[in-house]
Amino acid sequence: MLKGLLSVLLVLVTLSSVMGKPDATTPKKEKRIPQTLSRGWGDQLIWAQTYEEALFWSRSKNKPLMVIFHLEDCPHSQALKKAFAEDKVIQTLADEEFVILNLVYETTDKHLSPDGQYVPRILFVDPSMTVRADITGRYSNRLYAYEPADMKLLLSNMQRALKFLKTEL
C-alpha cells in the first residue's frame, strides 16, 4: 500500500518537473510531493546534497564539480534552469563527467562567491578542491552569471574545466 503510494508520488515528481509546474504551493494537509535533489535542474542526473558531499565525490572520482546557486522564486534562475534542463548535450556531459550540486543557500566557503552572492551563478571546482574562478560567463559585473542564451558558453566552460583537469593532472 505504502509502496504503491510512493511509486505514484515519485511518478508525480517526474511529471511535475517535466511539465515545469512548481509544487511549493501545495496546501499543508494535502499529500506533498517529495522534494527532489535536482530541484528541476535535471531529474535524471545524480546530484550531491551538500558541498561537503560534492567535494568528497569530486576528489574520489577525480571529476570537476559544478556548483549552481539559484533561488526557486527568481525568474532568472528559473529561466536558466529550464535552458539547462532541456539542453541534452549539457545534461549528458554533466552526468558523465561532472559532480553536480545545486544550492538555494550559500555555503560558508567564501571561495564560492569570488564576486558576491548572487543568483543564478555557476562555479567550477577542481578535484584538488580549487575553485576555478578563471572560468567565467560573459557579464563583467557578475562574472559567474549565465542566461538561457549562454548555453554554448556554459558548455565550452564545462569543456574547459575538463581540459584543465586533464592537462594539470
Give Cα separations from 62 to 50, 73, 89, 97, 125 (angstroms): 18, 34, 21, 9, 11
| Footprint on residues 60-119 left by its own copies (CB under 8 A) | 61, 95-96, 103-108
Tell me: does residue 3 bind its own copies (CB under 8 A).
Answer: yes
Return the residue of 22, 53, 89, 139 that touches its own copies, per CB under 8 A.
53
Tell me: does residue 41 bind its own copies (CB under 8 A).
Answer: no
Return the residue of 22, 34, 89, 168 that touches its own copies, per CB under 8 A.
34
Residue (30 or 141) nearer to its own copies, CB:
30
Which grid coordinates belong to 117? 552572492
Return the residue of 22, 32, 156, 159 that touches its own copies, per CB under 8 A.
32
Separation of alpha carbons 37 and 47, rounded Å: 6
| Footprint on residues 124-163 left by its own copies (CB under 8 A) | none
| Contact indicator for 120, 66 with CB cutoff of 8 Å | no
Which contiguous run of DSSP H or E holds residue 93? helix 88-97
Which contiguous run of DSSP H or E holds residue 69? strand 65-69
Considering the complex, what minimum distance in angstroms separates the CB of residue 26 from its own copies?
A: 10
Separation of alpha carbons 119 and 144, rounded Å: 9
Nearest alpha-carbon partner for 120 in 161, 85, 157, 79: 79
Residue (63 or 132) nearer to its own copies, CB:
63
Residue (102 or 157) nearer to its own copies, CB:
102
Which residues are at the interface with its own copies (CB under 8 A)?
2-3, 6-7, 9-10, 13-14, 17-19, 31-38, 43-44, 46-47, 49-53, 56, 61, 95-96, 103-108
